[in-house]
Structure 1
Amino acid sequence: MKICFLMYPWDRIEPETDSTLRLIHEAASRGLTVAITTPHSLTIRDSVAYAYCNVLKRSAKVSGSIPSFYKHADFKRCKLPLAGFDAIIMRANPPLDTTALNFLDSVRNDVFIMNDLDGLRIANNKLYPASFSGEAARFIPVTHVSKSQEYLEQVLEESSTEQMIMKPLSGFGGQGVIVVEKSAQRSFRSLLDFYIGRDQGNYVILQEYVEGASEGDVRILMLNGEPIGAMKRVPSEKDIRSNIHAGGREVKHALSKEEKALCKALGPQLVRDGLYLVGLDVINGKLIEVNVLSPGGITRINKLNRVKLQKTILDFVENVVSAREKVIERKNAFRKVIEDAEVI
């Protein structure tokens, strides 16, 4: 199988913790053809989509030490047609590069792309949880999104709780997430001036404060609509955010009954939207965010539970590619029968 990782630059990888590197190492260990590229390396020539890729040179034995594998990885630079790959794994960091998706549109019928391009377009924003309905809707906290200062001030004033969470719609990685105290309403307008901006260009999210938020959140990795691993992220004493990059720490976690019900309710829509590998951020049984572009946590969940989630993920990719190939083979076989009938 030939697989391409559309990702961030190789030299920005943190080998001890990087989730994408675990997937690349697993692919190399299986003897697959592995190429990596970035959104800036995509190009089109004569209506054919290409990427300037670094193709991993095969070695007699792939090191079992992932940091050592990273340090000694040897690449060959090539311009390759994207349609020649069996799978493209989307692992670029936020924000979403919509132009890169436009390049990939021309090969979506030739290559299995994870996650699906249309799925990324509709889900790579903090409004996506609002699309869940039916049983899934009960897991979504009350959320308000607006550029109107007057409306947001009214929401805070009428809130039945003493605290709300505010964050920019365009933020990621915990950037700009703060707790707003109802008792500090006199400072709220100044905060809105800053978040919305003088040109009224930025949307702001104001969300009900979910009890238990101060104790951290749970990151759940979903594969093909099913949970495959989880961890709890606990914030530091000096920060409300539990993101690891914001100073939080990870602890082992077993899914609660409510969290399992959440996964069961959300899973079917994720699959329908082509969101096969997803990170859910959950607090006290409520869905806070859906991470679809480059969900992390593989390394830490592996360490906490002595598993290798990258094996499960690559098994899924290989099974999908195999199924697609069998469909093509079956179609070609049927075409041959029809062609032979015409000759007779």
Structure 2
Amino acid sequence: MNLLFVADPLESFKTYKDSTFAMMREATRRGHSIAACEPRDLHWVSGGKVSATVRHITVDVSHDPHGHAPWFTETPTSRTALASFDAVVMRKDPPFDSEFFYATHLLGRAEAEGAKVFNRAAALRDHPEKLAILEFPQFTPPTLVTRQAADVRAFHAEHRDIILKPLDGMGGSGIFRVRDDGLNLGAIIETLNRDGAQTLMVQRYLPEIVDGDKRVLVIGGEPIPFSLARIPQGGEVRGNLAAGGKGVARPITDRDREIAQAIGPKLAARGLMLIGLDIIGSHLTEINVTSPTCFQEITDQTGFDVAKRFVDQLEADVAAR
């Protein structure tokens, strides 16, 4: 197959942990051709098809992620219609901002022209990562979504220990904990909601975070058998790896599987082939759909090849569409 990955700049990849790199490497091992572009490279002109200026690359499958040698070589770029690829894999990291939104519209147009996009453009647009949990309140902790400072104060008065976070953050950025004393609650609300101009999410603090914020990967509607528990370090409340959390792979629990099997098939049917569920204790806190990660950490610690499972599913879904 000829595969196009829409992603962040290739030069920014940290190959020792990057899941998109793991996907590309596994696809290369199977003889698939790899091209890459960034969302800014997407292009459409009336009378034509959605295209992109793409980089055709060869991935070094024996690349040492801790060495200094480049992990890919490339041939000259070309302007290519997305529909000419066998699959387009959308792997742009958050934030889900206006440019990401516009990119999904261009990808949607490409789908109408025959492109096979994973995850599907409309499904990405309809499931923003923080708000996607609203469909599944039976699995979530007490949660509030609002612009109103008074609503946040009332939520804090009820639950006493809360987490506040922006809707467009990633990697744990902008997350605050406010305990029973309410210290700095007003300043935090002002920072996150910008005097009522921006919506934020508030959740009851879950003390189980000390055992990790688990990332449960679901591919083709089925959870893989291991999660990555991201454990806060050094007094941090955030377990995100980008915020210094320690990643520990563990077999998924019965509760993890229950949540995944309730959500996974439903979202897979909508075109979300790959999702990442964030679970603290027994509660679902987020559903990641843009570029779920943790492939390599799970594979390195357990031997379960997540990238192989992903490419298996990609091949099957391309054949089925």
Return the alpha-carbon distance in structure 2 between the equivalents of residues 120 and 72 of structure 1: 29
Q: Which runs of no fewer than 5 residues in structure 2 stay unpaired?
A: none
- Verify the 8 A CA contact 1:86 1:112 in the aligned structure 2: yes
Query: What is residue 13 of structure 1 aligned with on the other side?
Result: 13
Distance in 1 between the 2:253 and 2:211 partners? 16
- Superposed displacement of residue 47, structure 1: 2.6
- Which structure shows the higher helix fraction? 1
Identify the range of structure 1 (295-304 vs 121-130) with the bigger mean alpha-carbon deviation. 121-130
Q: How does 1:253-268 map to 2 (within 5 A)?
A: 253-268=250-265
1:211-226 aligned at under 5 Å gives the runs 211-226=207-222
Q: Which residue in 1 is equivalent to 2:57? A: 56
Contact 1:42 1:51 in 2 (8 A): yes
| Structure 1 unaligned blocks of 5 or more | 325-344
1:22 aligned onto 2:32: no
The amino acid of 2:216's aligned partner reads I
Q: Please say which structure displays the higher CA radius of gyration.
A: 1
Q: Which amino acid aligns with 2:130?
A: K
Question: CA offsets, 1:6-58, max 9 Å, x none?
Answer: 00001100111111001111111111121000000011233311100001258
TM-score by length of structure 2 reads 0.92
Q: Contact (CA 8 Å) 1:216, 1:241: kept in 2 or not?
A: no
Deviation at 1:194, TM superposition (A): 2.0
Q: Kindly tell me: are residues 262 and 298 of structure 1, through their superposed partners in 2, closer, same or farther at Cα, counting changes over 3 Å?
A: same
Q: Give the RMSD, CA atoms, in angstroms.
A: 1.8
- Picking from 197, 201, 206, the partner of 1:201 is 197
Match of 2:74 in 1: 75
Would the aligned equivalents of 1:92 and 1:293 in 2 still touch at CA under 8 Å?
yes
Map of 1:210 onto structure 2? 206
Structure 1 stretch 24-33 or stretch 284-293: which is displaced more? 24-33
Q: Deviations over 1:78-133 (max 9, x none)?
A: 1111110110111101023111111112221412211111110111231110112x
Q: How does 1:156-171 map to 2 (within 5 A)?
A: 156-159=156-159, 162-171=160-169
Q: Which of 83, 87, 102 is matched with 1:99 structurally?
A: 102
Tell me if 1:131 matches 2:127.
no
Change (3 A) 1:95 1:213: same
Q: In the alignment, which residue of structure 2 is the partner of 1:236?
A: 233
- C-alpha change, 1:82 and 1:149, in structure 2 (3 Å) is same
Counterpart of 1:253 in structure 2: which amino acid? R
* Aligned twin of 1:252: 249
Distance 1:194 1:322, change over 3 A: closer
What is the alpha-carbon distance in structure 1 between the residues aligned to residue 155 and residue 40 of structure 2? 41
More deviation, 218-227/119-128: 119-128
1:124 match: secondary structure: coil
- Percent identical among aligned pairs is 28
